[in-house]
């Protein structure tokens, strides 16, 4: 994801700029109260660890709440000192001082929300439930502080005469607009209304995510007849046996709606009724009329978001969100989606018809359904390209693929990775690497957490326990992590990845390398501090290198024999690259359009969620054999994450990606001039300047949609 990018609350805590500490602002918390809260709590002193990494071994769950309470109180005091400063407002004593406030709280949020994504349990969720409204209130206290806004506004009105650097101009602009968007211009009654809306949204978002985690973990399809495993690869059967034992079904096999379990079952199982069962178990999450039902929550959140947008002077919530995105307006988003949708849907209909022909030829007396798609797509892929996952997986062990990622980074930028086994980590699965630049200088720490477990939410993402910055006069290096959900190795066998899973590893590393190579002054601008519809671009670009013969020859080696992947198989992989793109693009676009429809509502009236979803799908003409990638009940991107009115961003970013890859293909995939320009203008700057401006500096032009359509096989010949 970004299939990545989470620590949603930690990111949201900043009102464009808030979330760092000032070394020159006095803290007035009493020594006695600090001593009471700090006893044995690692957050109340610099971590005494290599590289200042979080002291995971000594951080207890009981430490979080006192640390949050202290951090919130301290941040309030810092903000009050800035707001009540009697000196004339300047960039340094107001804008920069705000940027340097709240460092203690930032440290706590980075650790806590990093672990709630991957190490969640009832205690962590209970803490999150208590802290979430406290953070929401703090954000509102800052955004709605009249004295503070008056000082910010005073500096903003002088912006043209201050002789600021580019990053300072950006910081000032975003700070001012952040206050306006946070309700600073509202009257007192409306400010209270906004506080109430924000508090409700915060609590509902938390509940949505909690329900989804419970729903996902509770589903299990228990198989006790070996005949029902027909068609499944041995490693998938072994993993299901392990899951069964862990869940108390010894001697049986259990499949879940976690993707490493669900996807292979849908792809290979010959048992159509069981494919239907697990498919429906997946798409009905949050829509089962039980304690984990998310339908009413989603409808309520859409209503509250519309009310918030109206209160702030926007037509819809999508208008409010997109003002700060690269797309700028909902109209521009719909224009792009409308460009791609007809060709994608047409291609998907062709793919469906091909499947029906195969079913008919085999003597099947049924019409293809959604739970058949993966199964018949794989059969057609094998027949058409003489390739299936059983041929490719032995060459994509997790370890070799990770080394392929590192090889690519070294060839492009001279960056190297050295594994350390003695550094702090929050779970035994985590692997930790020191990262060095081409001149051998230290870059930062890279952590990976690869295997599925019930304490993790689904998907894959990147975030940071510490970002890069140097606003205190010295270089602070980043601590970046990737989290994925791969099947755990069985016995002495390595984890073997599907082509898609291997591609995801490259994708998430694309986010990580941006965090690692960040080169900025202000912490709020570094790394992936970018609009949602641009932040996926560097990660998507990274995927391209994986399928290049030179890269494959380096890492795609048979886990048993060490044989390099045969060139004939590489050619088959490349030839099949556009296969099933109608389905992939259509299910994605349907979800993007569902998101935009929820957030383009112009009414606060609560919607019948299922009826609303059916109406949207009917209007766009989605075929019955495909469901949107995310239905409302489990659409965590937009109801429990930061992607509301932003899920379209993956394809918007894809335009930049396709155009960038065209440059690398023209100049050479490891061409140093292109690689260094990409590093300088895309990876290093983060959010210090308008991303569209930075892209033009790299590419010399705006991106074109044509390479994207051609890549997906959606152009008309």
**Known catalytic residue: 508?**
yes
**CA–CA distance, 590 with 622 (Å, rounded to integer):** 7
Helix H or strand E segment including 443: strand 442-451
190-201 exposure pattern, b = at least 16 Cβ within 10 A, e = fewer: ebebbbebbbbb
Q: In what order do the strands lie in the sheet with 416-420?
A: 416-420, 431-436, 442-451, 479-486, 461-466
Cα 642 from Cα 323, distance rounded (Å): 15
Residues 6+ apart with CB under 8 A from 651: 336, 337, 340, 585, 588, 589, 592, 708
Residues 6+ apart with CB under 8 A from 565: 392, 395, 552, 553, 556, 557, 558
Token pair in block for residue 105: 């709280």
3-class SS at 530?
Answer: coil
Residues near 10 by beta carbon (within 8 Å), at least 6 away in sequence: 106, 109, 110, 112, 113, 114, 463
What is the distance between the alpha carbons of residues 336 and 331, in angstroms, rounded to a whole number? 9
Q: Which residues contact 536 (CB under 8 A, 6 or more apart)?
A: 2, 4, 649, 650, 653, 654
- 3-class DSSP state for residue 484? strand
Residue 162, Cβ neighbours under 10 Å: how many? 14
Of the candidates 259, 265, 214, 216, the one whose C-alpha atom is nearest the C-alpha of residue 237 is 265
Residues contacting 73, CB < 8 A, separation 6+: 29
| Tokens 């998310």 sit on residue | 294
Written in H, E and C, the secondary structure of 308-332 is HHHHCCCCCHHHHHHCCCCCCCHHH
Distance from C-alpha of 638 to C-alpha of 302, rounded to nearest angstrom: 10
Helices (H), 219-233: none
Question: Are the C-beta atoms of 102 and 20 separated by less than 8 Å?
Answer: yes
Q: CA-CA distance, 104 to 20, in Å (whole number)?
A: 8
CA–CA distance, 528 with 7 (Å, rounded to integer): 12
Contact 233, 175 (CB under 8 A): no
H or E stretch at 697: helix 691-699
Q: What is the dihedral of CA 449, 452, 453, 459, to 10 degrees?
A: 90
Report d(CA 90, CA 202) in Å as an integer.
33
- Active-site choice (215, 508, 613, 625): 508
Residue 197 to residue 522: CA distance in whole angstroms: 30
Q: Which residues are part of the catalytic machinery? A: 508
């Amino acid at each position: 994801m970004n299939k990545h990018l989470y620590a949603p609350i930690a990111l949201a805590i900043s009102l464009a700029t808030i979330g760092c500490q000032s070394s020159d602002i006095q803290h007035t918390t009493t020594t006695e109260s600090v001593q009471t809260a700090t006893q044995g709590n690692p957050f109340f002193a610099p971590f005494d660890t290599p590289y200042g990494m979080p002291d995971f071994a000594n951080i207890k769950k009981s430490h979080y709440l006192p640390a949050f309470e202290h951090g919130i109180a301290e941040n309030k005091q810092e903000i009050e000192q800035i707001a009540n400063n009697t000196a004339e407002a300047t960039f340094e004593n107001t804008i920069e001082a705000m940027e340097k406030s709240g460092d203690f709280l930032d440290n706590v949020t980075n650790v806590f929300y990093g672990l709630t994504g991957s190490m969640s349990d009832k205690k962590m969720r209970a803490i999150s439930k208590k802290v979430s409204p406290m953070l929401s209130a703090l954000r509102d206290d800052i955004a709605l502080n009249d004295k503070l806004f008056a000082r910010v506004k005073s500096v903003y009105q002088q912006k043209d005469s201050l002789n600021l650097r580019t990053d300072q101009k950006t910081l000032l602009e975003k700070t001012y607009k952040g206050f306006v968007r946070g309700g600073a211009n509202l009257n007192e009654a409306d400010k209270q209304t906004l506080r109430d809306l924000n508090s409700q949204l915060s609590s509902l978002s938390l509940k949505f995510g909690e329900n989804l985690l419970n729903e996902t973990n509770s589903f299990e399809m228990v198989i006790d007849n070996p005949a029902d495993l027909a068609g499944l690869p041995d490693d998938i059967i072994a993993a299901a046996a392990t899951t069964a034992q862990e869940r108390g079904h010894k001697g049986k096999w259990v499949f879940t709606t976690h993707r490493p379990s669900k996807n292979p079952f849908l792809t290979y199982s010959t048992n159509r009724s069981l494919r239907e069962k697990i498919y429906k178990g997946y798409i009905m999450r949050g829509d089962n009329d039980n304690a984990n039902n998310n339908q009413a929550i989603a409808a309520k959140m859409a209503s509250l978001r519309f009310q918030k947008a109206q209160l702030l002077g926007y037509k819809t919530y999508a208008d409010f969100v997109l003002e700060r995105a690269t797309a700028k307006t909902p109209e521009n988003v719909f224009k792009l989606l409308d460009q791609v949708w007809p060709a994608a849907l047409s291609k998907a209909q062709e793919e469906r018809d091909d499947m029906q022909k195969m079913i008919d030829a085999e003597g099947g007396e049924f019409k293809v359904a959604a739970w058949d798609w993966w199964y018949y797509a794989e059969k057609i892929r094998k027949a058409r390209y003489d390739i299936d996952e059983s041929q490719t997986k032995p060459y994509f062990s997790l370890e070799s693929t990770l080394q392929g990622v590192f090889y690519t980074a070294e060839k492009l930028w001279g960056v190297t990775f050295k594994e350390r086994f003695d550094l702090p980590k929050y779970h035994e699965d985590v692997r930790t690497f020191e990262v060095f630049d081409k001149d051998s200088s230290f870059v930062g720490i890279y952590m990976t957490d690869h295997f599925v477990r019930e304490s993790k939410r689904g998907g894959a993402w990147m975030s940071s326990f510490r970002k890069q910055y140097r606003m205190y006069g010295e270089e602070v290096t980043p601590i970046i992590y990737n989290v994925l959900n791969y099947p755990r190795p069985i016995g002495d066998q390595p984890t073997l990845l599907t082509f898609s899973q291997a591609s995801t590893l490259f994708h998430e590393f694309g986010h990580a390398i941006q965090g690692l190579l960040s080169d900025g002054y202000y912490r709020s601008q570094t790394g992936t501090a970018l609009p949602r519809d641009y932040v996926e671009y560097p990660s998507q670009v990274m995927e391209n290198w994986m399928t290049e013969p030179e890269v494959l020859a380096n890492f795609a080696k048979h886990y048993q024999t060490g044989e390099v992947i045969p060139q004939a198989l590489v050619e088959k992989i490349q030839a099949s690259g556009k296969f099933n793109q109608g389905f992939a693009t259509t299910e994605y676009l349907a979800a993007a359009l569902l998101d935009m429809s929820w957030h383009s509502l112009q009414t606060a009236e609560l919607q019948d969620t299922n009826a609303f979803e059916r109406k949207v799908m009917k209007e766009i003409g989605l075929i019955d054999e495909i469901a949107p990638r995310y239905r409302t009940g489990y659409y965590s991107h937009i109801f429990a994450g930061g992607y509301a009115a932003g899920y379209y961003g993956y394809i918007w970013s894809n335009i930049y990606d396709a155009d960038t890859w065209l440059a690398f293909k023209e100049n050479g995939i490891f061409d140093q001039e292109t690689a260094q320009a990409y590093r300088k203008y895309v990876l290093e700057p983060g959010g210090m300047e308008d991303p569209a401006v930075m892209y033009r500096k790299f590419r010399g032009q705006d991106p074109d949609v044509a390479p994207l359509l051609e890549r997906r096989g959606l152009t008309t010949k």
